[in-house]
């Protein structure tokens, strides 16, 4: 994987991103050894473009650290994101193809995925059938398990960070965005310099409201289960303020499952495991392996693992 530093945009403005423009370059534009063709989206730290390598090859998704984040310590998180994704090899985790720096602007290139994220899927088509949810959650749980096996916590498992091509012959969800990745017990940031909480309101596990050090494999399990219930329900489970007290959290969880029960009947083992996975306190949640075993058993009709 190349880490070659390309031509500085300060030396050759026509071949790089302007350092002080917050609206981004006029496209198409050159950025090092890539031609930026289309802006695909903008996240907490960077902008993602569809880009064509100048040395041939298929188009990629190129994520570039945003100029206005350069003084906020985001470069450290960006580097951690690149390192984590480059170290993970799993069919349900997006692959990093290249990374480097152009005039002080870090970037990395990912495989360009076709389709929609799970949030968009639900917005377009509503609640998902159980067989589809199982086909999505089981490999996604395997991807999260591979992340944990590498000693990492994703910290932002949610529908918007999972891509899916609904028209592919086989459903293959891909876990994205390791921008908040954290080594267990590590020093990873909980808040930015302006005091805003890192993580996605409504999807951040309750313990993440207190400290990054409190986040664990149980926090990713929470996000995974929340994604599953979102797919089944066709709507988010929690509002941001529902995480502020155990009472609000319990009430919101009960409302969501009552609504779910009114529109469909889930297998008892799956219902119970999803319910327990959304407990306010991490110690009361099952393990990721237990959820994986239940998902496998529901798909195959036979006992699996530690179900």
Catalytically annotated residues: 156
> CB under 8 Å to 91, separation ≥6 — which residues?
139, 172
Q: How far apart are CA 195 and CA 173, in angstroms?
A: 33
Q: Residue 237: name the closest of 245, 199, 228 by CA.
A: 228
What 3-state DSSP class applies to 27?
A: coil
Q: Residue 237: name the closest of 219, 250, 218, 220 by CA.
A: 250
Strand segments, DSSP code E, in the chain are 5-6, 29-31, 34-42, 46-53, 60-65, 96-102, 105-111, 116-117, 162-164, 174-175
**Cα dihedral sign, 264-268-269-271:** positive
Q: Are 49 and 61 in contact (CB under 8 A)?
A: yes
Half-sphere exposure of 262 (CA within 13 A, CB side): 7
Question: What CA–CA distances, in Å, run from 274 to 1, 141, 247, 271, 295?
Answer: 39, 13, 19, 5, 10
């Amino acid at each position: 994987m190349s880490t070659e530093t390309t031509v500085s945009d300060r030396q050759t403005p026509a071949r790089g991103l302007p350092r002080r423009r917050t609206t981004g370059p006029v496209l198409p534009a050159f950025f090092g050894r890539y031609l930026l063709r289309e802006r695909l989206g903008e996240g907490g730290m960077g902008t993602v473009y569809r880009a064509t390598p100048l040395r041939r090859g298929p188009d990629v998704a190129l994520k570039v650290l945003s100029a206005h984040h350069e003084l906020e310590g985001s470069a450290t998180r960006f580097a951690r994101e690149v390192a984590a994704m480059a170290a993970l090899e799993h069919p349900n985790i997006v692959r990093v193809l290249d990374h480097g720096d152009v005039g002080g602007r870090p970037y990395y290139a990912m495989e360009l995925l076709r389709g929609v994220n799970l949030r968009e899927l639900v917005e377009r088509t509503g609640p998902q059938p159980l067989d589809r949810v199982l086909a999505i959650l089981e490999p996604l749980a395997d991807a999260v398990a591979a992340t944990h096996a590498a000693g990492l916590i994703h910290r932002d498992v949610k529908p918007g960070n999972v891509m899916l091509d609904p028209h592919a012959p086989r459903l293959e969800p891909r876990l994205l965005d390791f921008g908040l990745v954290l080594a267990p017990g590590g020093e990873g940031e909980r808040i930015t310099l302006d005091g805003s909480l890192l993580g996605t309101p409504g999807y951040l596990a309750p313990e993440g409201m207190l400290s990054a050090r409190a986040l664990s494999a149980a926090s990713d399990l929470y996000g995974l289960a929340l994604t599953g219930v979102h797919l089944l329900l066709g709507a988010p489970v929690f509002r941001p303020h529902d995480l502020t007290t155990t009472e609000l959290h319990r009430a919101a969880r009960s409302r969501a499952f009552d609504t779910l029960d009114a529109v469909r009947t889930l297998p008892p083992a799956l219902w119970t495991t999803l319910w327990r996975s959304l407990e306010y306190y991490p110690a009361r949640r099952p393990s990721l392996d237990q959820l994986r075993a239940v998902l496998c058993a529901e798909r195959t009709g036979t006992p699996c693992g530690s179900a």
